[in-house]
A = this chain, B = another copy of it.
Amino acid sequence: MKSFKIPEATIMRLSVYSRYLNRLLKQGLTTISSSEIAQNTGATSAQVRKDLAYFGEFGTRGVGYDVGSLYDSIAGILGLNKDWDVVIVGAGKLGLALSMYEGFRERGFRNRAIFDVDPIKVGKKVQGVKILHSDTIIEVCSELKPDIGIIAVPGEEAQKIADQLIAAGVRSILNFAPRVVSVPYDVQIRNVDLSVHLEILTYNMAMGDKG
């Protein structure tokens, strides 16, 4: 695998392409062109070709791509040729939405545990997954060894939860709390604030640029 840095925008688009290819596979389609992929994923044909070129030669000039093998290749690049164990901290509306998000399961993300501090929620199940008390995060995660911890708690709790996940050995964290969380250098974190997307829209509206 090439060792130079692939742009993050490319990885995000690969993720979108692969979901589209998966849909085509289910529909029984076998070949597809870069312009068709582009049209159905909000990219341009040039982007599709350039994104794929980072990882090698796919497709045949004048024929297009084989849907199945392109899907397998992209899934491999994204690490989706295996299942990943996930825990979700926070069983509020967002945590529950994430627990039930069909997109996660389809992509091989297995929800192993949900944590919350609310005694009314603790002990209940969400699609077969038990809600445990947040006091047990370190203990349970040391045992389960999840690949990814998802944080969906109020902003002021986020750093404490991240620290507990890290203490339990979790090395990849997705933080949906509206507060940036700091982690040691050997832990990867993505801070996803949902307001950011709305504010790109308002920025464009304020600029009078609807492009």
Residues of A whose CB lies within 8 Å of any CB of B are: 1, 8, 11-12, 14-16, 19-20, 39-42, 76-80, 84, 86, 92-94, 96-98, 100-104, 107, 109, 147-148, 154, 171-172, 174, 178, 180, 182, 185-207, 210-211
- A86, A109, A199 pick with most chain B CB within 10 angstroms: A199
How many copies of this kind of chain does the complex include?
Answer: 2
Q: Would A210 and B104 be within 8 Å (CB), given that A78-B202, A201-B188 are in contact? A: no
16 contacts between A and B (CB under 8 A): A15-B195, A16-B196, A19-B178, A19-B193, A19-B195, A39-B182, A84-B202, A94-B101, A103-B194, A103-B195, A104-B195, A172-B204, A174-B197, A186-B210, A188-B201, A192-B197
The listed residue (B96, B189, B201) touching A93 by CB distance below 8 A is B96
Q: Contacts of A180 on B, CB cut-off 8 Å?
A: 16, 20, 40-42
